[in-house]
Amino acid sequence: MNAPQAQGALIELVGVQKSYDGQHLVIPGLDLSVRRGEFLTLLGASGSGKTTTLMMLAGFETPTAGHILMNGRPIEDVPPHRRGIGMVFQNYALFPHMTVMQNLAYPLRMRGLKGAALQAKVDRAIELVQLEGMAQRRPAQLSGGQQQRVALARALVFEPELVLMDEPLGALDKNLREHMQYEIKRIHQQLGVTVVYVTHDQGEALTMSDRVAVFHEGRVEQLAPPAMLYDTPATDYIAGFIGENNALEGEVRSAGPQQALLQLPGSAPIPLPRPVASARARVRVRPERVHVGAGDIRLAATVSDLVYLGDHTRLVARLPGGATLVAKLGPGQLPADAGIGAGVTLGWRAADMTVFPARS
């Protein structure tokens, strides 16, 4: 089966389904294109289908239906070792009895390379991940970050077109994880290799990716660049899942043919940025877009909590109807009299608000 390939696509998933028991589909029908040279992240909660998708790409799982194309050719029946795909696991999966050099040489030997050509590729991979001087160490003699660099180098050493990464930074501490995010992105940009990366960490996905596919119940809820995903979420699920977001729900009232109002409990109605074809709606606004005493939309509230976090102060306020609003205020933005229990007016630009039909 050869299907028309999407423009610039290295990988195509066409109508892919996956069931483990023959009855329930964990992937009900997935169409996904991975562009050549891009860094695509599969993001989602546990059980959303992102890892199952990656395992089907790697060849460790077989689709129940549909096709996986690489360079326009089906690979769903090709065994993993013949797909020419690099793989980086969360647990590194290094050979403990081998040195760094031997670990990196292994995939090259399996492909028939030896001698000076093999050594040159190993040396280049060690230099790429900045592990010079450590070629003769075994994994137990390396830190977690160094072991992850070896795992990354082993996935890249045979110069694959595609590298799959399954939560590779999950075992690292916060500071090292953030450092490795930038290192992996640097290597990706330097080599131009195509990367499909799985994570449940939203910050990681937004930091590293060219595009992010957000998985929900086995489907891609939205596929977009990080900024678009954050600023213009396609669904209420995406708006609530990506980053922190205030949510205010109320009844929709007509204010004319092209305008509607949202009546919040205990507050004045606020204009909606677009009409909504439902009796109730939910508006969302990011905490960093909420200000004290400024904005097109303004609501009276009472301060219930203040948390100083260095680069910003987190202000939590309660509206008369009981809903909560959170504002992230930069230095100098918190009024001196805005203590706990004080009344404040919180506002934001209408353009910073997204609106969706309320879920039942």
**pLDDT tens per residue, range 68-107:** 999 999 999 999 989 999 999 888 889 999 999 999 999 9
Does residue 7 have a pLDDT over 90?
no
pLDDT at 8 over 90: no
Say what the pLDDT of residue 10 is. 96
Same domain? 127 vs 265: no
Q: Whole-angstrom Cα distance, residue 331 to residue 333?
A: 6
Please state, for a pLDDT cut of 90, what percent of the chain lies above it: 80
CATH code, 272 = 2.40.50.100
Q: Which residues contact 115 (CB under 8 A, 6 or more apart)?
A: none
| Helix, strand, or coil (residue 112) | coil
Confidence category of residue 315, pLDDT binned at 50, 70, 90: very high
Model confidence band, residue 176 (pLDDT cutoffs 50, 70, 90): confident
Domain co-membership, 73 together with 90: yes
Q: Are residues 225 and 290 in the same domain?
A: no
- Examine the pLDDT at 3 and tell me if it is beyond 70: no
- Give yes or no: residues 24 and 139 share one domain: yes
* CA within 13 Å, CB half, 305: 9
Helices marked H in the chain: 50-58, 100-110, 115-128, 144-156, 174-191, 202-208, 226-231, 236-241
Among the three residues 236, 255, 275, which one is the final residue of a domain in this structure? 236
Count of domains in the chain? 2
Please say which residue of 236, 259, 289 terminates a domain.
Answer: 236
Domain region containing 288: 244-357
Q: Taking the model in full, what pTM does it have?
A: 0.89
Clarify whether residues 69 and 136 are in a common domain: yes
- Across the range 169-196, mean pLDDT stands at 90
Q: Is 271:343 a contact under the CB 8 Å cutoff?
A: no
Based on the domain organization, do 222 and 263 belong to the same domain? Answer: no
Last residue within a domain, chosen from 216, 236, 256? 236
* Dihedral, CA of residue 268, residue 274, residue 276 and residue 277, to nearest 10: 140
Dihedral sign for Cα atoms in the order 91, 94, 99, 100: negative
Q: CB–CB of 212/223 below 8 Å?
A: yes
Domain identity same for 270 and 350 = yes
| Residue 108 burial (CB count, 10 A) | 20
